[in-house]
Amino acid sequence: MPEGDTVFRAARKLDEALAGHEVTRFEVRVPRSATVDLRGETVREVVPRGKHLLMRIGTQTLHSHLKMEGRWHVYRPGQKWRAPAFQARAIVGTRPANAVGFELAMVEVLPTAEEDRVVRHLGPDPLSADWDAAQAVANVAADERAIHVALLDQRNVAGFGNEYANELLFVRGIRPTALAKEVDVAGLIDTGVRMIRANRDRQGRTFTGDNRPGKQTWVYGRGGKPCRRCGTLIEGSELGARATSERIVFWCPVCQP
């Protein structure tokens, strides 16, 4: 599942492959930006912002969001794609490498000077150079909703997705339904930052320190299985700001009282 660390790694890989090179092929296969042609321009950099990816080309930015299924692949010229062509939403080619974005839920081209329009709403990003811990804590602590919902709201803090929210709350011993204003938000955010920064440079995401398949999480995806700490069966339910945004939550009824 793409989360802040996934987007960070994707941006780094794309930047290493494309930055400084002239665009030789450019396709955006969505109506809004389908006529844009940036061939001849130079890829300046690729940067992440929360779960958003910003590819800056000349004076323009190719903005994409991975959502649940999206991913970017990098190929050598002539190399066969590892996903069906009909799933490609964006293609940026240079002489040394080609980048293809598959199943991107959101993709558009806009002037780099107007990037704020698509990322202005985001809260502080723990993987950015301008991370503001105090502001993130203040945002979450002021949220009137359940802490799980508050953590997932990208306006409060950018980059934490459902897997992080579940794992973070378990490690801190907090029930997902506890109100944000009633928990130690500062400690929670500090732990979350350390988690996502540790995973930023790993090949595979882990919360337990064990990279073996099936061993990476404490509670996420483990409904009905014994808690790794106390042996109590992990419980699961759904929780969200509204019915259309509900996410599956997992918790240990003993370790998260």
Q: Which residues are marked as active site?
A: 2-3, 51, 247
DSSP string, 5-27: HHHHHHHHHHHHHHTT-B-SEEE
Residue type, 211: N
For the chain, how are helix, strand and coil distributed in percent, rounded to 5?
Answer: 30, 25, 45
The helix (H) or strand (E) run that includes residue 170 is: helix 162-171
Q: What three-state secondary structure class fits 139?
A: helix
b or e along 90-127 (b: 16 or more beta carbons within 10 Å of the residue's beta carbon)? bbbbbeebbbbbbbbebbbbbeeeebeebeeebbbbbb
- 131 beta partners: none
Residue 45 CA: distances (Å) to CA of 53, 110, 114, 138: 11, 15, 16, 31
Distance CA 15, CA 63 (A): 14
Distance CA 143, CA 179 (A): 8
